[in-house]
């Protein structure tokens, strides 16, 4: 299955702890595609367009901790609001990766 990695991404993103965030790079590396970070974003885009709303895409940020996909949400601020509601601290416009950066398990 070509979209096998998609399942991998969905599973990881869905496994993100409450009040934490992860980066595309870590997810990509966890699925076996280090440079496949763009796939993660693409997968989430497909998710956002699908009924995969169970995927906390708002917990997925770029390596800078910025909510890169916030603009793809129904509202760009809803993402930050949601993260703050989970107890995530914001450093200006980026998430406090120092404490909220969650690294996905390098599952097989």
Partner DNA sequence: ACTTTGACTTGCA
Partner DNA sequence: ATGCAAGCCAAAG
Query: What does the DSSP assignment read for 57-71?
Result: GGGEE-TTSB-GGGG
| Burial category of 54 from C-beta neighbours within 10 Å (exposed 0-12, middle 13-18, buried 19 and up) | exposed
Report CA Rg, the chain. 13
14 is an interface residue for DNA by CB under 7 A: no
72 binds DNA (CB under 7 A): yes
User: How many positions of this chain bind DNA (CB under 7 A)?
Assistant: 33
The residue from 16, 21, 30, 60 that contacts DNA (CB under 7 A) is 60
Tell me if 24 sits within 8 A of 66, measured CB to CB. no
- Least distance (Å) between residue 73 CB and DNA: 7
CB closer to DNA, 73 vs 90: 73
With binding defined as CB under 7 A, does residue 69 bind DNA?
Answer: yes
Q: Where are the alpha helices (DSSP H) in 1-108?
A: 4-14, 24-31, 37-49, 76-85, 97-100
Q: Find, among 96, 70, 72, the residue nearest to 81 by Cα.
A: 70
Which residue of 5, 12, 16, 95 would you call a contact of DNA, by CB under 7 A? Answer: 5
Report if residue 3 touches DNA, rule: CB under 7 A: yes
88 part of the interface to DNA, by CB under 7 A = no
Task: Output 18 or 71, the one with its CB closest to DNA.
Answer: 71
Active site residues per annotation: 57
């Amino acid at each position: 299955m070509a979209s096998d990695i998609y399942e991998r991404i969905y599973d990881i993103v869905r496994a993100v702890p409450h009040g934490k965030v992860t980066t595309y790079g870590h997810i990509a590396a966890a699925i076996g595609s280090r440079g496949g970070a763009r796939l993660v974003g693409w997968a989430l885009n497909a998710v956002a367009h699908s009924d995969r709303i169970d995927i906390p895409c708002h917990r997925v940020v770029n390596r800078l901790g910025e909510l890169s996909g916030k603009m793809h949400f129904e509202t760009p601020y809803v993402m930050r609001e949601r993260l703050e509601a989970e107890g995530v601290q914001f450093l200006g416009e980026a998430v406090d990766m120092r404490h909220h950066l969650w690294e996905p398990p390098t599952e097989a």
